[in-house]
Structure formats: structure tokens, C-alpha cells
Amino acid sequence: MLDEDDFLNVIRNAPLVSIDLLVRSPDNGLLFGWRLNEPAAGFWFVPGGRIRKSETIDEAFLRITGAELGVAVGIEHARLLGAFTHRYQTNFAGVEGIGTHYVVLAYVVMAPIDINNMPKAQHSEYRWIYADDRSDRIHENASAYFSALAREG
């Protein structure tokens, strides 16, 4: 695992690869959490996380679902929606002038979760958000998933 300075240098010079988890409610809401950490702190955002070096996508998916949803879900219980580009002006360390760039693999996850018993490391609270919600506190990178889902039909 990289120390903080080395990781910041990676962020300065290269994109990160991550997985976002699009958990849908029966009435087509998406699970969002109030983000605690940069980038995107202070916004509603979907759960997700970075893929680590030497980790397969399947291994990352199990680790990320366990950490973000409180239950490890195999990738066979998900469907790839697509790859997305997320750019932020901020970074995890709050260092000025260094933005964060992600290549995101967004997966629709078919798994029952208990919204009242979710991990609190990355998000302080959770709620279902719908395509017609006009809150300015829903991060634009995450709200774009509603359009992508609508294009599927």
C-alpha cells in the first residue's frame, strides 16, 4: 500500500480506476450516501471505491461491496452499466492545485441491503434518490447515472 505522499503523487500524475455501486430500490431509486471524504465531500454520492494494484475486478468488487454496503456481493450479482470519467478539483489530502481523475466502472448491483445498517466510514447517512430529485447537493458525477440508466430503457 502506498503512503500518503506517494498516493498523492499518483493522483497528480495518473487517473485512478474505481467501481461505483448502483444499488436500486424496487421503485427505481438509487442508493446515495452523504459523502464524508474528498473528493466529493459534502455531497450525496453512490457507494464505491478504488481498485487496488494487483487486485482483480472480481476481488475489488467483493472488497468494495463489503466495505461500502456492509455485505460482500459477488460480481455475478451485478451488471456493468459502463465506464465513466469523473474529474474533481479536490483530492483526499486537501492539497491545493491537485485534482482527482477517475475512470469509473459503474455496476448495477442486485442485492438486498438494509439502508438503516450501512457502514459509516465513507458516508454519514444514506437515502434513496430518484431521477426527478433536483437537490443541488447530489454530485453531478453521480446524478449522471440516472441518464445512463434511462437510456437503457
List, in order of start, the domains of the chain with CATH numbers.
4-152 (3.90.79.10)
Q: How many CB atoms lie within 10 A of CB 147?
A: 9
pLDDT tens digits along 40-94: 999 999 999 999 999 999 999 999 999 999 999 999 999 999 999 999 999 999 9
pLDDT of residue 153: 64
Phi and psi torsions of 52, nearest 5°: -90, 155
Rounded CA-CA distance 18/51 in Å is: 5
**Three-state DSSP string of 24-78:** ECCCCCEEEEEECCCCCCCCEECCEEECCCCCCHHHHHHHHHHHHHCCCCCHHHE
Chain mean pLDDT for the chain: 95
* Cβ atoms of 148 and 81 closer than 8 Å: yes
pTM: 0.95
